[in-house]
Structures are given as C-alpha cells and as structure tokens.
Amino acid sequence: MSWMLRSLSARFSRNRTQPQQKNQSQDASFDTKKFVQCKVLLLDGAHLNIVVPRNAIGSELHEEVFYSLDLEERDYFGLQFTDQFNVQHWLDPCKKVAKQVAIGPPFTLRFRVKFFTSEPSSNLKEELTRYQFFLQIKQDISSGRLQCPHPLGIELAALALQSELGDYNPEQHTALFISEFRFHPEQDEKMEIEILEKYKACRGQTPAQAELNYLNKARWIEMYGVDMHIVEGKDGNTYRLGLTPQGMLVFDGPQKIGLFLWEKLQKLDFKNKKITLVVEEDADQSNNGQIQLHTFVFHLTSEKAAKHFWKCAIEQHAFFRLKSRPVQPNRKMQFFRLGSTFKYRGRTEYETIHKEGARLSRRQSCSFERRPSQRYGPRQSHVTNAQMRDAKRQEMRQQILEQQRANEQQQQQQRSHAQSDPLPPLPPVSNLPIPSSPNLKKPLINNNNPFIGDPSIPSSSSSSSPSHVTKITVGTIGGGTSETSPSSSYIPRPVVSGSSSFSHPPPLPAHQSSSKIPRMSSSTDPRKYSQPPQPAVRMQNHFDDSRKFSQNGCAIPSRIVPPMQHQRRIVTDF
C-alpha cells in the first residue's frame, strides 16, 4: 500500500513541474520523450550540454565528450556520476545512460582522469592530454583529496601560476594578487608570499613546459594515482584501501600497513557489503616451502559501495597489468550465469603506448584554449599589511626630507656666520736666519784616531794650511808630491779636505791602474782596529806590494780603515 502512495505522490509532483519542463523542452528544442540532456562538468570549470537519445549507451556519451574536447588519448579518462546514496560510479560504456544515472534528467556527470600513468612525460604524447592531467591533479590538491606536502605544494603552485599568467610582473603580481587563487587546503598568508618568491624563479617557461614540470613533480607524491575507499575490518576498526597500478594498499589512519600486489592476489569477490581478498604468500622456511593463502574480509557501508570498489579494482588490474584487453565472452554462454557480468572493455596502457593500432592520429599539433582559474576575494590581511607598509614608507620619506632640510639650514647658518665674522689674515712667514759657521757645534775629538788631529795644534804637513784644519791627502800609488811630513798620513787616493776646494791627482798609467782600493796603515803610530765597515775590501795576494808602495814609503796595507767618529764633513771624489 505504501508503494502506491509513493507513486501517486510522485505523479502529482510531476504534474506540478510539468509547465516548467515544457518551457525547458521548448528552449532546448528537442523532444524529451526521445532525447535526454546530459550536463558534463569539465576540469577547467566549464560544462558541456549534450543531448543524446534516451536509449543511448555510455559509449555514445563518451564519444560526444571526447569529440568536443578533441582528445585522442581517451583511455585515461572517464565520466563519473553520483547516485542517490551518495556513492560515486564510473559510467559503464556498455549500459544505457538513463538506467545508470538515477538523478535527472538532465543527467549530471563529471569528466575526470580515471587512470593515472606513472610516467606522464613519456606515456602522454599530446599537450592537451597533459593539460587535462595537470587540471585534475591541481583540483585534487586544492580540494584536499590528494595530500601534498607543504614545500612541494609551494613549488606546484608556482608552476601553476607560470602556466596561467606567464612570466612574473612586479607591478601586477603581488601577494595580494596571489591570494585570489586557491592551490592548497592549508594556504595562508605566509604560504602565498613563499609561492610568490618561487613564482619569480619560474621565468622563461612556456605553459606546456610548466605543466610538464608540474606533472613530473606531482608524480612523486605518495598518494598520487591512489583511488581510496573506506572499509571496515573484522575487528571493527576503520581502514582505507587504495587502488594503485602496483596493487592494493592498506592504511590504518595515516600509516601504511600493507600492500597486496596484483600478481599475488588470487581472488577478489564481493557479496552484499562484504569484500573478500585471497592473497598468496611466498614459500619460505617459515611455511616449510609451501605456498600459503591468506583471506582478508572487509565490510563497506552499502552494497552499492562494495560493487563500486570491486569494479574499480577489476579495471585497475586490467588496465595496468594486462597487455591486451580481455576476450569478450559470448552472450549466449552468459544466459544462465549467476553474479555480475562486468568486464573491463577498454584498451590497456600497454596497447595505448606500444601497439601501432593504438597510436595517435597523424596530426602534427593540437590547438586549444586554456581557461583561467576561478578567482576568489583577496585576503584582507595583505591589504592591511600593504597599507601599513605604505604608511611606513611615507613616514621614512618624511623623516629623510626633514633631515635634509635640517642639514641645509645648518649649512646656511655656517655660511652666514663665516661671512659676518671672517678670520684675521695670517702673518707673513719670514725667512729664518741661517746660523754662521762659528756658531756651529765643535766636532768631537777622538785622540785614538791618528787621522784626526786636534784643531788647536798646528799641522806641520803644510805651511799654507790653517791651524784648525786637519788635511788628509789621498793620492795614487806612485803619484803626487814626495814632500810629506812624517806626521801626516798619505793615502793613495784623491784629496779629502775640510775646505770647499778639491784637487785631483793625475791618473795612473794603464799598467798601474786597478779597481781595488788598498787598505790604509800608518808606519809611525800604532792603531786600534775595530770591525771593518761593509763592504770590506782586501788586497789580492798576487799584487807586488814592494813595487807599489816602496815609492811613497808606505807599509804594506793589511789593515781596515776604521769609521770616522767626528762630525767633520769629509767629501771624497773618486
């Protein structure tokens, strides 16, 4: 009885909304009894309104969407819808659209990436396909479905800005402008400033290069390409099962506790809300070299959720593990078959990449338009901080101007003071008197030196010399005058005198010339010798001393001339 009441109420509700539906059908200009409208939400935020026959199957709607997007690598994508139990399903290409989608018409579906390749740079041939992958990962990170670390999220956000905005422009691209985008669920003011700094370093990359770099970085995220499902174990705890190209991951909260590889999975079945997994264990010493099978049972929230998980696991295993699509069984053989007849009917990844029949068309390039991202209101904290920074800059400028004015005023005061009270002129500097020779200090007398005599004692060497001058005549060997007093010392070199006039002896003959200066000695007075000055010159042994010094009566020189210890000026001209 209750079902009759529900059907009548539904009929009455249809009659109430009938005028509105007629208006929609007139606007759409198609017959609602023969055609249905499907609304497909794309990854860039746009949507497609596609009209298909009411009896159309899922493959026809797929073809319409792929044709509108001009996609060639189609096996990575699919159409997803949500049923009345809030369970998400992939549109089966072999079943009618009207029977699969319960909510509508118009039927609302979402265009999404179904299989995430592990090598996007090599497996994805076209730029348009990489762009759709880029939009999908960007959407998953911003919504929190794909958990991304904070440092990597900053780099990915900077690449996303480079793809959409181009090179950094300091006049336009500020932290306030960056806050209008949404890249990460934990995005805050500090993160936006860091994104802006990273964005500056991405200069020079084209949109295609930035998107490819984005995919190469995003594929290293731990949960990249993992289709997550929430299940309940036998112990009553909640677990998560993730479907990947390698196998099935098991998570206990954020911690990964197991991995069931596809080649080790012997059985995967569902019944009502229960999922049964039979996993093979390798033979080792612990099990006596025998292969053991382990059974795992999980429960889901509903039967629809269990069937959806089972279908996703079948498709993941077939697409990534098989080299060719499974053979379609005969429908007559399936007449008395119990259970689900679902099979993966698309091409595998191996066929998409390697086989010639699955390669792309011969088109050289694909032109498409990139749509801008959705914008939000700017962050007010950036506005406040910008105002505070502007106020501080204005205050600093004002202080600098005031300081300059104060310095100028001080300089003007100094100039006016200097003009009103000039300094007196300095007195002229007269020439200092030069002291005469009698006022000079008398030289010290060293009686130990036989070459320096007392000025008070008259010298007997020459009658024309003054009594206060000690005259030392330096002559050449064998030359000069022979009239020498026994008290005077004769040095065979030029004349050295305290007076201003000098006399030079005649030059030696060529056979008697020598570059060596002989040492001096006195034949009358004993001399005290000190250390020789530098450099010291010694006599050569091969000289004929008797021949060189016998003429002047000098002894054979074997001493070193001591330093002069008086202040008398002696000028020697060699």
DSSP-assigned letters across all residues of 147-206: ---HHHHHHHHHHHHHHHH-S--TTT--HHHHTTS---TT--HHHHHHHHHHHHTTTT--
3 state SS for 494-530 = CCECCCCCCCCCCCCCCCCCCCCCCCCCCCCCCCCCC
According to the model, what pLDDT value does residue 216 have? 94
C-beta of residue 201 within 8 angstroms of C-beta of residue 167: no
- Where the chain has pLDDT below 70, the residues are 1-29, 283-289, 325-341, 355-365, 386, 421-574
pLDDT of residue 487: 46
Q: How far apart are CA 112 and CA 131, in angstroms?
A: 12
Question: DSSP letters along 548-574, please?
Answer: HHTTTTPPPP-S-PPPP-S--------
Strand partners, 276: 269, 297
Residue 228, phi then psi, degrees to nearest 5: -95, 140
**How far apart are alpha carbons 322 and 347 in whole angstroms?**
9
Q: Give the span between the Cα atoms of 308 and 303, in whole angstroms.
A: 9
Half-sphere exposure of 464 (CA within 13 A, CB side): 1
Beta bridge partners of 234: none
pLDDT of residue 509: 55
How much is the pLDDT for 165?
A: 92
Q: Is the peptide bond before 149 cis (omega within 30 degrees of 0)?
A: no
Compute the distance between CA of residue 115 and CA of residue 126 in angstroms, rounded to an integer: 16
By CB atoms closer than 10 A (0-12, 13-18, 19+), residue 29 is exposed
370-404 pLDDT per residue, tens: 999 888 888 877 777 767 777 788 888 888 988 88
Provide the 8-state DSSP code for 466: -
- Give the pTM: 0.63
- CA–CA gap between residue 166 and residue 204 (Å, rounded): 8
